[in-house]
Amino acid sequence: MKNSLFENIFHGAAYYPEVTGLAVLDKNIAAMRDLGINCVRMGEFAWSAMEKREGTYDFSLFDEVIKRLYENGIMTVLCTPTVTPPVWFTEKHPESLYVDKRLHRATHGDREHVCIANDDYRACCDKITEAMAKHFAKTKGIIAWQLHNEVNWPARECFCKSCKEKWHGYLREKFGTVERLNEAWGTAVWSNTYFSFDQVIQPVQTYLYALSPSIVTEYARFNQKNVTDFIGRQAAILKRYVTQPITTNLNRLFYINQENIAKHLDFVAYDQYIGQPSCREMMLDCDLYGSMKDAPFFLMETSCSYSGCIDGVGSYHKRGYVAAEAAANLFRGACGFSYWLFRQHYAGVEMPHGHLVNAFGKKSAGSVNVREVSALIRNLEGFLRESEFVSPDCAIVYSSEAKIFYDSEKAGRKGYYDIFVEKYEQLVMAGIPRDVVTEESDLSRYKLIYVPNIPYVSEKLWEKLKGTAERGATVIFGEDTGTRTEFHTLHRDGALGRFEKELGVTSKDYLNLQGTETHCRYGEESFSAEGFCVVFEETQKCLCSLSSDYIVGSLIVKSPFGAGHFVTASSRIPSSVCVRLLKDMAEQCGCERYDMSECMYAVKRKTKSGMALYYQYFSYSFFV
């Protein structure tokens, strides 16, 4: 998408005129200019300031602030304020309040305290979004729009009366008949058979045992569809009036389908509050959000020093870390790097959060880090304008759908978020540069595709993976991949269902080997398998054998597929073995790899004169 937003590098911070007013605006602008801030984000919590009484809009404060910022060379990302509806709305529509899985109703004064599927709430959101779009459509200085704010966080699935009615409608549309629902979910187990859609419960928290993962997974999908529809609805309203690109801020922790929401956006923005001890997660986010859309991305929120709220604060960033974080994002293709927040809140839940300027108007100690980023941008801007990011040969597939499956069926495992970080780190340790792609991504350009921990492989993803393998790629099915159906049940025609026939493999068992003594060998490495494993019949395709007192077979098999291969390793195996497997498969398929164990990150950019390779370490960076 061609837009001036993507032709510049923005160094920004969140700004709240509804809190600070106009009296300190000139002083704040002077501080922004001194620190190298050329962009602010505003409006996401300002509904009460914009619409004090229903239907009466007053945007004059924001008109003045945006104008004066623009006159000083500071651009604005303007947000819709729908995450914090005013008290007049709550009083008029108390039934709109969010209800959690324990059937506790939220109260006014929090954030995202209303049901995102409530019709009255959506109608009011539509009205203020349209009013803002009409009013600010021609305003100079606005470079982009952000929808809502951190959608469905910390809220999860809502269990209000309105959601119950819509849940039943969703099921009717998906299954057609209740008999099909019963068959798909296996409701004969525990006598859970339904005789009408209106009988299907909402999966609230039980204090006895547990509910079937089939219904829990489907309800999470239903909720995520509501969230995606809500974002799509706001985007459609804005696009009728404004020409600036539209985004919203995403995060892997949010209870959303990021891939589907991204379809409604012109560019991706995300929030990240990761410290140096977890810096590989920071690199993971660069690779994920840099790959999600064919456009530059924007780090919309990070901390210049530490994150915090009244419940606790994080550790102070080590000197150099923020600059390294900025460099990683910029080399990976970011057009913006922005902090939360500019001026410290003097009241409210987030008073303890890190900031550029404190509540009494003086620059904070964290501003030293901001100056370092400003200097970095000045030094890199010319090079970044004249070069472009070069996608690596390898991709690892991230799935919002898989996150639902791990939430619904924990089985003593870590959550999907933590497991995926471990799998990403395996590629880092193997020295393989990688994109983090989603099920919606184009996979055709990759030589090696790692697909770990995706229990349900959709038809759409399967067809993409087959297509890349047929053209010569190697696809690796990792732990748990392919072991569940769409309806969160086990396959009844083999551990991996119909994939086995297409891959030419046959499973013997799918079992938990925890606590057993097993003997496995991959190449020269011997190890013991643990946890749930798919064991295949012994075949010449075997890359890793398994033997125990209980079962003997193949743990990892490699099958030719067109001009490429599928490697099936849907078992829990040690990380060191996974790293060795990834190195071997990268070498065999000609995938680029760097043999440098200490390097955290490597990004290649194409210039007129050739290629530049950027290396990222813990707290400093340099060119090679």
Strand 10-14 to 334-339 pairing: parallel
Residue whose pair of structure tokens reads 């911070």 in the numeric block: 13
Instruction: Give the C-alpha distances (Å, rounded to integers) separating 239 from 129, 150, 235, 302.
Output: 11, 20, 6, 28
CB atoms within 10 A of CB 185: 23
**If DSSP states are collapsed to H, E and C, what string results for 73-141?**
CCEEEEECCCCCCCHHHHHHCHHHECECCCCCECCCCCCCCECCCCHHHHHHHHHHHHHHHHHHCCCCC
For residues 117, 118, 122, 125, the Cα torsion angle rounded to the nearest 10 degrees is -100
Task: Report d(CA 377, CA 381) in Å as an integer.
Answer: 6
Token pair listed for 310: 């009244």
- Is the separation of the CB atoms in 603 and 594 below 8 Å? no
Task: Report d(CA 401, CA 414) in Å as an integer.
Answer: 16
Contacts of 79 (CB under 8 A, 6+ apart): 41, 42, 43, 44, 145, 146, 147, 148, 149
For residues 100, 104, 109, 110, the Cα torsion angle rounded to the nearest 10 degrees is -30
Task: Report d(CA 423, CA 450) in Å as an integer.
Answer: 9
Token pair listed for 426: 């395996």
Task: Report d(CA 84, CA 109) in Å as an integer.
Answer: 8
- Is the separation of the CB atoms in 451 and 478 below 8 Å? yes
| Per-position DSSP letters for 238-280, written without gaps between them | HHTT--S-EE-EE-TTSSS-HHHHHTT-SS-EEE----GGGHH
Reading phi first (left if > 0) and then psi (alpha if -120 to 50, else beta), residue 526 is in beta
- Residues 537-571 as b or e (16 or more Cβ within 10 Å = b): eeeebbbbebebeeeebbbbbbbebeebbbbbbbb
3-state helix, strand, coil in the chain (%, to 5): 35, 20, 45
Give the residue numbers marked as catalytic: 150, 301
CB atoms within 10 A of CB 621: 20
DSSP helix/strand/coil, 302: coil
Task: Report d(CA 459, CA 2) in Å as an integer.
Answer: 33
Task: Report d(CA 59, CA 595) in Å as an integer.
Answer: 56
Task: Report d(CA 450, CA 591) in Å as an integer.
Answer: 12
- Is the separation of the CB atoms in 573 and 479 below 8 Å? yes
For residues 240, 246, 252, 254, the Cα torsion angle rounded to the nearest 10 degrees is -50
Task: Report d(CA 125, CA 128) in Å as an integer.
Answer: 5
Q: Residue 225's Cα: distance from chain center in Å?
A: 16
Token pair listed for 198: 């209106």
